[in-house]
Amino acid sequence: MWFPVDTADSRARLVEKLVREGFLFDRYAREAMLRVPRELFVPREYKEHAYDDNPLPIGYGQTISAPHMVALMTSHLRVRPGHVVLEIGTGSGYQAAVLAEIVGDEGHVYTVERIRELAAFARRNLEAAGYIGRVTVLEGDGSKGYPEKAPYDRIIVTAAAPDIPRPLVNQLKPGGVMVIPVGDRFMQKLLVIRKKPDGGLMVDEDSYCAFVPLVGEYGWDL
């Protein structure tokens, strides 16, 4: 299997760039992105572009998010060791690997993917990179969350929702944080949501973004 010969150096330069540009402002997120081999999470034909700051196709109309978006969402999420995290939209498994680096052996990442072939692709990638023990890949309607392991310390949604899905709010711990793009099918605002002890929500808006749609009962129709 071919990999670029300078992956560690390319990764370090990319992380430095993301810090400099203000996308990567959480120490745990920065250290995780320095350790996760992104080249293991992209299709073979795109491996030479693994450390370009661009989204890349992974098949089935889906993409692996651009590194700056992974950095921004993970920084806002403020994941810490021992956290239990729910991810909606597994894709290639890269974001789950970054989260798994942070939560460590004491935490866990549950990630839901609706496309069976991508779920299998992500499992292979996570196993090859050594993260499968910290990550559980599930198939299903991510807009419903995964109530079996709720409540979660953190929830991250890597697909665009028309509104904040109520099941995800219900599955977030009081004091927990959710990061989700909300808007229409073509443009969204990245929302950072904090759940107050009384169950109310504090919502902060970040930048505009463009994600593939969240498909499901609390997302978009196919």
Q: Which residues are catalytic?
A: 65
DSSP-assigned letters across all residues of 132-189: TTTEEEEES-GGG--GGG--EEEEEE-SBBSS--HHHHHHEEEEEEEEEEEE-SS-EE
Residue from 57, 55, 67 nearest 19 by CA: 67
- Distances from the Cα of 103 to the Cαs of 41, 79, 100, 166, in angstroms? 19, 7, 5, 25
Residues in the chain: 222
Name the CA dihedral angle for 131, 132, 136, 137, rounded to a multiple of 10 degrees: 100
